[in-house]
Amino acid sequence: MSQPLKGRLALVTGSGRGIGNAIALKLASQGADIIVNFFRHREAADKTARDIEAMGVKAQIIRANVGDAKKIDEMFDTIGNDWGHLDILINNAASGVGRSVMDVDLKAWDWTMDINAKAFLLCAQRAAKLMEGRGGKIVSISSLGSSFVLPTYAIVGISKAALEALTRYLAIELAPKGICVNGVAASAVETEALKFYIKEGFIKDTRQATPAGRMVIPEDVANVVAFLCSDEALMIRGQIIIVDGGTSVAPFVMQEQDRQ
Amino acid sequence: MSVEEQIKEIVAKIVHVDKSIITREGTFKDIKADSLDVVQALVAVEDAFEIEIPDEEAQKFQNFGDFVDYVERCLAAKERA
């Protein structure tokens, strides 16, 4: 199997479970050594690392709450000391509070913005320094809630909009350094975490509303991320690639078909 | 100050309640803490004691007593190490 990322080092934030896990495994399958960042689920991170090492590449686990600037600094200090460089940053870690706009308080706002938006700024700043002189790839993981209004998704959607804007600014500012920055925005992805946020029937409804006929799974996102990390995607800069099985371009078509 | 008192102080500050209403038998629900309060309390306690409380362990806590006991066990293990 071809290993286009052999010898590269990738940091995937929030890679113990779900989308981050799938991305870490995909990049590892292409030969990259992986830094598995996690915060709350050590057992899952341990398993991710074991699965990565089983593919014959290296894995290092770093626990850090990316909502805390000091912890981000410590994580990058460790990467700098242990590896001295970084080739790929996948800004995947996310959190949020499911509330309507009118119920958002400062605590929920700060928590969500710190983890979903501010962390990307701080991680990208530190990562870019470790990529100096060797180029690199940065991919942010967003969601359709950045552009569309989803029930009780207000703060997360707003934080993802900030993350997408930052993706574009970073893409232009880092282009002269040979660093390629893009994002991937998915619709609801079938993960363990999703089950905490959704109401009964959501998965069935989403499946029916998706032109591609099924929900997006973590591997769908991971495949696009891997492409954006390849040299074949070098001329894609500052773009947010949507992975939603066609939902966003045909919101009414499927509802109409359901009625027939 | 005992570990229990320190934890009560941290939780009270995050949930904005008087620490006297936090008892070993009580739960986060009893003091009207939401899910974000719970996560922030766990994080703050981790930082204060320089320990790790994985979600898998936190989910087993039935009340504050279990929370305190877990932290004390972590500290004892740290001491031994």
Residue A150's pLDDT is what?
86
Q: What is the pLDDT along chain B (81 residues), one digit of tens a residue?
A: 899 999 999 999 999 999 999 999 999 999 999 889 999 999 999 999 999 998 888 989 999 999 999 999 999 998 888
CB contact under 8 A, B43 and A65: yes
Phi and psi, residue A198, nearest 5°: -105, 160
Q: Which amino acid is at A147?
A: S
| DSSP-assigned beta bridge partners for residue A216 | A189
Phi and psi, residue A174, nearest 5°: -95, -5
**Neighbour count for residue A212 (Cβ, 10 Å):** 12
- Lowest pLDDT segment from A114-123, A202-211, A250-259: A250-259
Within 8 A of A47 by CB-CB distance, chain B residues are none
Residue A243's pLDDT is what?
96
CB contact under 8 A, B54 and A41: yes
In angstroms, how far is the first alpha carbon of chain B from the final one?
Answer: 23
Residues A187-245 pLDDT 10s: 887 777 666 656 667 777 777 888 988 889 999 999 999 999 999 999 999 999 999 99
Nearest to B52 among A63, A97, A108 (CB): A63
Average model confidence (pLDDT) for chain A? 92
d(CA A16, CA A66): 14
What ranges in chain A are assigned the alpha helix state H?
18-29, 42-53, 69-82, 106-113, 119-131, 154-174, 194-197, 202-209, 218-228, 253-259
Residues A4-45 pLDDT 10s: 999 999 999 999 999 999 999 999 999 999 999 999 888 899
Within 8 A of A107 by CB-CB distance, chain B residues are 36, 40
CB contact under 8 A, B52 and A108: no
pTM value is 0.91
